[in-house]
Amino acid sequence: MDIGKVDQEEIAARVKRLQSRLIQEGVDGFLVTQHVDLYYFTGSMQAGYAFIPAEGEAVFYVRRSLERAEQESAIAVEAMSSLRGFRAQLAGGHPSVFGGDVAAAGKPIKIATEMDVLPAATFAKLAEITAGGQRGCSLIDGSSLIRSVRMIKSPWEVGRIEAAATVVAEALDAALPILKEGISELELMARIEYEMRIRGHIGLMRTRSYNMEIMTGMLGSGAAVAMPSAFDGPAGGLGLGPAAPQSASRKTILRNEPVLIDIGCCIDGYVIDQTRTAVIGGLSDELAAAYAQSERIIRHAEQLMIPGTACDAIYAASLEDAAAAGLAGHFMGFGTGQVKFLGHGIGLEVDEWPVLARGFGNPLEPGMVLAVEPKFTFPGSGVVGIENSYLITDDGCRQLTKSSEGLIVL
């Protein structure tokens, strides 16, 4: 278990970064409720709530397992009382936030929490509980605070992502020999998943968005993977039926059709995301040209990925590159199925900040990790493209993906 344990200083630095943001925004504290955020700020994913005051010591209030939280957590751990008694427990632990002397000031307390993931019923209950004091308390949305703090990765986190990159690369190499004409998408995906799992993949890539599921990526072939889907990505796939309407289907893989292998895994909590395109035989000229263009777009993006470049500028450049090749209508999906981004942050979740999309004018910063995935969709024929993950460094970017590049021709 030691490999996954997060050290004290790492956690202390994360807490401090959140605290300085809280002070900046005039927020008195953060009530952390989501298991992934709890892991990020405590080093433990046991059940409970962590309270991080703008100033002072953070405490992890644990429902279960207290014993494991005490082993894992880098911040103070306390057994959580009943939910009814939680307000009093917070007041006792954080008198500078909830205590009597500040009450004199008369200003209501402002506590942030993750309204982007916390269910409305639990939010309402927590708002009622925290409001219990004399000063009153408003529970506000701190989703963007959390997301912006988590957006910048530490060297330790980059190491975890690289470990995940190694697992995906090894798993793909181990599974590819079974890719032969006549096997199903599901058979290929199941084998890749097995190879990732025995190497330590936790079983799913966690997501932040409501209703979004990506256990191990999106794999599909020919017309099936070019189907439009609910998934907010360029290629959702056909899936196993209406109750699992994305990724691998039972469709048989044929000669001369592209096989899109968009896969990832989660090692020690951190995900990687990559795409390679394979074909048994060869691609049509049209698809081969589109694949080549996807490599050109990712090369161009690599040049642009330096600290200071605005995220939307990289997306805009990719749109221009696609249009220049006469492929604007096929880029990142087709027709109403087109999605409006080129890449996305990855870390503990697969849908992190920043996003390479219109409207994201914020500049790249060292420590960001992004998956960049130019793809072209041809209804009835398939999807081709490439995806690598990158760390933004002080003067450019460094590729974290380890699989060799180029169309895989079998």
Residues 71-90 that bind its own copies (CB under 8 A): 72
Cα gap 239→253, rounded to integer Å? 14
Distances (CA, A) of 96 to 59, 134, 250: 14, 14, 59
Q: Read off the amino acid at residue 270.
A: Y
Cα gap 399→390, rounded to integer Å? 4
Determine, following the binding rule CB under 8 A, whether residue 367 of this chain makes contact with its own copies: no
The one among 158, 189, 261, 305 contacting its own copies by CB under 8 A: 189
Q: Which of residues 104 and 120 has its CB atom nearest to its own copies in the complex?
A: 120
Determine, following the binding rule CB under 8 A, whether residue 130 of this chain makes contact with its own copies: no
Which residues within the stretch 36-65 sit at the binding site for its own copies (CB under 8 A)?
39, 43-47, 64-65
The one among 11, 22, 118, 167 contacting its own copies by CB under 8 A: 118
Q: Which of residues 70 and 286 has its CB atom nearest to its own copies in the complex?
A: 70
404 within 8 A of 176, measured Cβ to Cβ: no
In the three-class reduction of DSSP (H, G, I as helix; E, B as strand; rest coil), residue 127 is classed as helix
Q: Read off the amino acid at residue 64.
A: R
Provide the sign of the torsion angle of the four alpha carbons 319, 323, 329, 332, taken in this order. Answer: negative
Q: How far is the CB of 379 from its own copies (least distance, A)?
A: 10
Start-end of H helices in 153-284: 155-175, 185-197, 222-225
Q: Which of residues 202 and 292 has its CB atom nearest to its own copies in the complex?
A: 202
Determine, following the binding rule CB under 8 A, whether residue 156 of this chain makes contact with its own copies: no
Determine, following the binding rule CB under 8 A, whether residue 162 of this chain makes contact with its own copies: no
Provide the sign of the torsion angle of the four alpha carbons 260, 233, 150, 76, taken in this order. Answer: negative
288 within 8 A of 382, measured Cβ to Cβ: no
Q: Which of residues 194 and 360 has its CB atom nearest to its own copies in the complex?
A: 194
Give the binding range for its own copies (CB under 8 A) out of 122-130, 279-287, 302-310, 399-407.
122-130
Question: 193-205 burial, b for 16+ CB within 10 Å, e for fewer?
Answer: bebbeebebbeeb
Q: Which of residues 39 and 291 has its CB atom nearest to its own copies in the complex?
A: 39
Give the binding range for its own copies (CB under 8 A) out of 201-209, 282-290, 298-306, 351-359.
201-209
Q: Which of residues 95 and 245 has its CB atom nearest to its own copies in the complex?
A: 245
Q: How far is the CB of 121 from its own copies (least distance, A)?
A: 4
Q: How far is the CB of 97 from its own copies (least distance, A)?
A: 21
Cα-based torsion angle of the residue sequence 258, 241, 175, 272 in order, rounded to the nearest 10 degrees: 90
In the three-class reduction of DSSP (H, G, I as helix; E, B as strand; rest coil), residue 404 is classed as coil
How is residue 262 annotated by DSSP? E
The one among 336, 361, 380, 394 contacting its own copies by CB under 8 A: 336
Q: Which of residues 252 and 393 has its CB atom nearest to its own copies in the complex?
A: 252
Give the binding range for its own copies (CB under 8 A) out of 14-22, 113-121, 287-295, 366-374.
113-121
Start-end of H helices in 154-310: 155-175, 185-197, 222-225, 285-304
- Measure CA of the first residue to CA of the last residue in the chain; give whole Å: 39
Q: Which of residues 141 and 302 has its CB atom nearest to its own copies in the complex?
A: 141
Which residues within the stretch 250-309 sit at the binding site for its own copies (CB under 8 A)?
250, 266, 268-270
Q: How far is the CB of 301 from its own copies (least distance, A)?
A: 25
Determine, following the binding rule CB under 8 A, whether residue 15 of this chain makes contact with its own copies: no
Determine, following the binding rule CB under 8 A, whether residue 210 of this chain makes contact with its own copies: yes
